[in-house]
Amino acid sequence: MKQILALAVLLLGGIIARAQKQISATSPDGQTKVTVTLSDRIYYDVESHGEQLFQRCHIGMTLRDRTLGEKPVLKGKKVTTVNETIAPVHPLKASQVANHYTLLTLTFSGNYKVEWRIYDDGLAYRFQTALKGDIEVMGEDGIWQLAAPCRLVLQQPGGFKTSCEEEYSVVASDQWKSGDRMSELPILVMGDRQKVLISEFDLFDYPGAFLQSCEGNAFAIIQPKTPLEYEDQGDRSQRILKEADYVAKTSGTRSFPWRYMLVTQRDGQLAENAMPVRLAPANAIGDTGWIGVGQTCWDWLNGIPFGPDVKFKSGINLDTYKYFVDFAARNGVGYMLMDEGWALDTRDPFRTNPEVHLPELIAYGKQKGVGIIVWLPWLTVEHHMDLFERFEQWGIRGVKIDFMDRQDQWMVNFYERVAREAAKHHIFIDFHGAFHPSGLDYKYPNVLTYEGVRGMEYNGSCKPDNSVWLPFIRNAAGPMDYTPGSMLNYQPEVHHGNRPICAGVGTKAFNMAVFVLFESNLQMLMDNPCRYDQWPDCRDFLTSVPVNWDETRVLAAEAGQYCVTAKRKGHKWFVGGITNSTERDLQLKLDFLPAGKQFTMTSFADGVNANVIAMDYLRQESKVGNSTTLSIHMARNGGWCCRIDLE
């Protein structure tokens, strides 16, 4: 009897083995391995540097009439290696990015493929279909199953309608319950040895993904349904009246978004991440020479100039905006952003506030070499898509579009329609009230930045304990409109100040360092010119910081604790470092500098009393070289930054 049972077990094992097919592929360095198992569905495991990270994850896509990935029948397998160099239009981290990966393409019966890229520092997968006509996607079967419990860093909204500005939550994976709030992307998986950043890219004509707990150390993709009927709510929002039962109706022949996992063994790799560049779609607009990245003045938080040089009544008027333009011109700042109030009615972009005299201001700015950007709610843009043609005639350079607060298929398509129409008329875009960057800014490089972050607009609730996560999570996904540069600074427990006199939480050195550390192709100077002129040494440093870089190196980092990063533009280096509510003492080696040369370093550090008086800072000049090791101190909620110039 025992022999019969043993034979039965062997036969059953053989049947299961034949029913399952395994395909493996490794990264170019052999350290990251993906194993795909085909049985009742498509499963995959991920191993990196000898550690199992994910196991029995599964993927699929449910259409109206079939499920891709269900009982998959493999028709073909192809493994190739790609090794190329990419030069991004707007190099947020580096002017040259290596794109070296193993490409695994699995072709299945039913006219679909799953494409995998396995990098030395991560992996990505996506579905590709070749189906006739349009298809209705009911949802995705995308499950991440962790191999072991760990901590998750999540951004958890109350629903699909969100501006993606929630504070981060650190949650134990085995304590995230199915009934708890979902999370936006990206999320950070915090293992003991390695960390994994999970996000999406190449998102077009398809809803953005959220993640929801499945319990048991697993989480799944969840997406908003496609809205069918809606009505305006005021000047900047919509009420959805009717939704489809599908998440997308789209072409049957297409590539779907990448689901990517950046796998890191040191935390600094998260902030150096180039995965978005490597997964990005091609530029669709051709010539980009007319697009000017750079810094901009801004009036929303601190728009009332005052002081001995202000001889006019400040407000939303021509004299005030000329004051901002004059400051920009004196300091090499390329733009002035006019927020709400420049138009007589937020619903009508063609009737300007007569106190502003917009044509005169645009001409004045052009004479001074300063371009004008204007703010609008997204509904106004939707109802007046011809405004880009008019704005081009007026001479406006860019538009800040606000309050989308959704990422269903309709809204994702709105973003692309706006980017395409604006590009036709040589206008760039800052998407505010937006979700995370997902590839649109590469297809349409006139999209310079996105909000989708708890930034300085939150005043006292924009705290360093939350902001210190940003280089590792939000900024790792793409450009971020954090609106930095406050000159009025408080420790969190004593912070006060609201429009028109807003202040930053954290020390002055913290608020200067984020100007180097945080990445955006359009970087805001959130404070008033009169306050910058009160601290000319700080002003001159901030206005000298580039927004695009040739090289980025993280010098010291621990996710959620501190981050110090060096960035090079040409022959100049800048370093920016911040910490959370714990003060730090760090040693920084400057061995990234060319050997045999001497440099002048201008640094800004927390003053001896910055733990209490956040305004306290120390500016120093010193000589440094390749063999220099710096000892830096950052107060609680503090920072440190410098510029290094070749003599």
Active site residues: 402, 457
Alpha-helical runs (H) found in 273-385:
275-279, 318-330, 358-368, 378-383
Residue by residue, DSSP assigns 64-110 as: SS-EETSS--EEEEEEEEEEEEE--SS-SS-SSEEEEEEEEEEEETT
Residue 439 token pair:
């590839």
Task: Give the integer Cα–Cα distance in Å for 394 and 421.
Answer: 16
515, 523 in Cβ contact below 8 A? yes
Q: Given the structure tokens 């990270």, which residue do they identify?
A: 53
Q: How far apart are the first and last CA of the chain?
A: 88
In this structure, what is the dihedral angle of CA atoms 468, 473, 477, 483, given to the nearest 10 degrees?
Answer: -30
Residue 278 token pair:
């490597």
What amino acid occupies position 62?
Answer: T
Task: Give the integer Cα–Cα distance in Å for 556 and 266.
Answer: 10
Task: Give the integer Cα–Cα distance in Å for 208 and 188.
Answer: 17
Task: Give the integer Cα–Cα distance in Å for 622 and 601.
Answer: 5
Residue by residue, DSSP assigns 391-413 as: HHHHT--EEEEE-----SHHHHH
Q: How many CB atoms lie within 10 A of CB 540?
A: 14
* H/E run at residue 431: strand 428-431
Q: Given the structure tokens 């971020």, which residue do they identify?
A: 480
Q: Report the half-sphere exposure of 560 (CA within 13 A, side-chain side).
A: 13
Those residues whose C-beta lies under 8 Å from the C-beta of residue 154, and which sit 6 or more positions away, are 168, 169, 170, 171, 176, 183, 187, 211
Residue by residue, DSSP assigns 119-177 as: ETTEEEEEEEEEEEEEEEEEEE--EEEBSS--EEEEE--SSS---S-PPEEEEEGGG--
Could you give the 3-state DSSP secondary structure of residue 528? coil
Task: Give the integer Cα–Cα distance in Å for 647 and 627.
Answer: 16
Q: Given the structure tokens 């028709």, which residue do they identify?
A: 75
Residue 562 token pair:
């501190």
Q: Given the structure tokens 């950043």, which residue do they identify?
A: 197
Q: Given the structure tokens 């590839």, which residue do they identify?
A: 439
Surface-to-core class of residue 201, CB atoms within 10 Å of its CB (0-12 exposed, 13-18 middle, 19+ buried): buried
What amino acid occupies position 27?
Answer: S
Beta bridge partner(s), residue 632: 586
21, 38 in Cβ contact below 8 A? yes
Q: Given the structure tokens 């001479």, which residue do they identify?
A: 395
